Amino acid sequence: MKFFRLPNSDNKISKLGLGFIGYNREIKNFLYQKKKNLKIINTALDLSVNFIDTADTYENGFAEILLSEITAKRRSELFISTKFSPLNNTYKDIIQAANNSLKRLKIDKIDLYQIHWYNNSISLNETLDALSFLLDKKKIRYVGLSNFNLS
């Protein structure tokens, strides 16, 4: 497995990542599916894939809750990325969304916190101010963008 390092970090992050979506607790045979999904994450970690990407909207937060079962045992191996909904792009909502994700994931810091989608009805400066606050409070390590185009 190839790795890269983030600037000013000793952490090795796998070039491949595992997207954590579609783990629906409403499906038939939920317990079987949950066990299978946890095995997928553990297998990925055993194969040195440590970049896990999820979002607060995946299964209404349940993907983060399920991932917390792994963070409890293998947090030091993980680089966790999560995203917040474009409905939460205001300053106050981003802070609340981050705190909710931290609680669901049962961690004290999100490695990469991403704007999931651009929301042109909310000032990007307001969104960035909230992310800056979270960086200052050490609730997140890095900020990223998802689903943005060049313009």
Catalytic residues, by residue number, are 58
Q: How many CA atoms does the CB half-sphere of 134 hold within 13 Å?
A: 31
**Which is it for strands 3-5 and 12-14: parallel, antiparallel or unpaired?**
antiparallel
E strands, the chain, are 3-5, 12-14, 17-19, 51-53, 79-84, 110-115, 140-145
Burial annotation 57-74 (CB, 10 A radius, 16+ → b, else e): bbbebebbbbbbebbeee
DSSP codes of every residue in 39-55: HHHHHHHHTT--EEE--
